[in-house]
Amino acid sequence: MANLVTFTLDPAYSGTDADDFTIVGVHENGSPANTTIATNVTLSALSAGVQYSIAETITGGTVCSTGVCTNCVNWEIIASTPTPTSTPTSTSTAIIYTYYLTNYLSKSDTDSSGNPDYFDFCVTPGQTTGTAVYSTISVIDLLLNVTLYTNNTLTTAFTSLGTDGYYAVAASSGVNTFTAGPTGYRLLEINNSGYITDLLTQDCSGGGGGGAPI
């Protein structure tokens, strides 16, 4: 394999009387013997730049004028520095999951039978999921101690209507809590910042019954 080398006379010496140049190459470690790269190179050609293919082992040499005046100067190969290629970095994107909430039902308010409002999840007509919320958590049963959001860019936290009651949650919209039964959804306690403070399975065993912790 060879190197392509360009020889150009320094513009500061363009007015020299020297002419007819001989270019010699010296091999690395001095072996083999010096190689004559070119002879009778004119001043005008050297001023414009002349290019030759030389052996890789040649690392420098001399340029000597042989005409009106004689003089030699040394030259050496100056290797160009390759421009590094930037490697693109991958950016991981979080997968966003959508869940659906029912209306909010209080724990402290009770009906005429003494049942808390949230027990209405168990009886006809039930409550139906429809309000979309978003999270990076992929499984409902792992939603405890995380924040729900109202947009899929996760920039606006869900604001709960109260902190003494529950929302029923399911992975699909249109899930009716009475039809689905107590294991077909989960109950969430959510604070005003969208943070889930409790996650329960509904206990529909009777009036006044509560949720069973997951």
Assess whether pLDDT exceeds 90 at residue 55: no
When pLDDT is averaged across residues 18-39 and rounded to a whole number, the result is 86
Q: Which of 202, 177, 175, 174 is nearest to 187 (CA)?
A: 202
Say how many residues make up the chain.
214
Q: Which of 101, 99, 19 is nearest to 66 (CA)?
A: 19
Half-sphere exposure of 12 (CA within 13 A, CB side): 0
State which of 75-79, 108-112, 148-152 shows the largest mean pLDDT.
Answer: 148-152
> CB–CB of 23/41 below 8 Å?
yes
**pLDDT tens digits, 121-144:** 999 999 999 999 999 999 999 999
Top-confidence residue, 155 or 19: 155
> CB–CB of 186/199 below 8 Å?
yes
> CB–CB of 190/197 below 8 Å?
yes
Copy the structure tokens of residue 209: 């019954």
Taking the alpha carbons at both ends of the chain, their separation in whole angstroms is 72
Place of tokens 């329960």: 200
Beta-ladder partners of 165: 106
Assess whether pLDDT exceeds 50 at residue 45: yes
pLDDT for the residue 95: 92
Q: CA 113 to CA 106: how far, in whole Å?
A: 15
> CB–CB of 120/112 below 8 Å?
no
Top-confidence residue, 87 or 148: 148
